[in-house]
Amino acid sequence: MTLNIVHLVGRTGTDPEIRYFDSGKVKCRLTLAVNRMNKKEDKPDWFELEIWGKTAEVAANYAKKGTLIGIQGSLKIDTWSDRNSGEKRSKPVINVDKLDLLGSKRDSENYNNNNSDDNF
């Protein structure tokens, strides 16, 4: 048996980047800041999210920077060759299957007004 399920709750760190393909598919990318359960860590963990289809359009319209969201998805590793050095590079990306908008619009506006770009 194999299992690859990721559940995260946090705040979006960037405005969504949406891309429409000639095939009709839609992809949205954004980052998510997640605080750890123990309060000893001041800085959050950052995750890159990739969202497809109708869910991508919802994210693009409603998950602006600072929005509290919950996601369910799976972990994948993107790999590529560096253009300059030719070295292999990789990074983890969460492929989102389910998106829950958890905060209100006012909550996001207040959060953005009270926090700088560097602190999440």
CATH number of 6-102: 2.40.50.140
Check if the beta carbon of residue 25 is closer than 8 Å to that of residue 17: no
pLDDT tier at 6 (50, 70, 90 boundaries)? very high
Q: Give percent of the chain with pLDDT exceeding 90.
A: 69
- Distances in Å between the Cα of 69 and the Cα atoms of 25, 32, 38, 59 are 23, 9, 20, 10
Separation CA 79–CA 11 (nearest Å): 26
- Distances in Å between the Cα of 27 and the Cα atoms of 16, 56, 60, 84 are 10, 6, 9, 27
pTM beyond 0.75: the answer is yes
pLDDT in tens, 62-79: 999 999 999 999 999 999
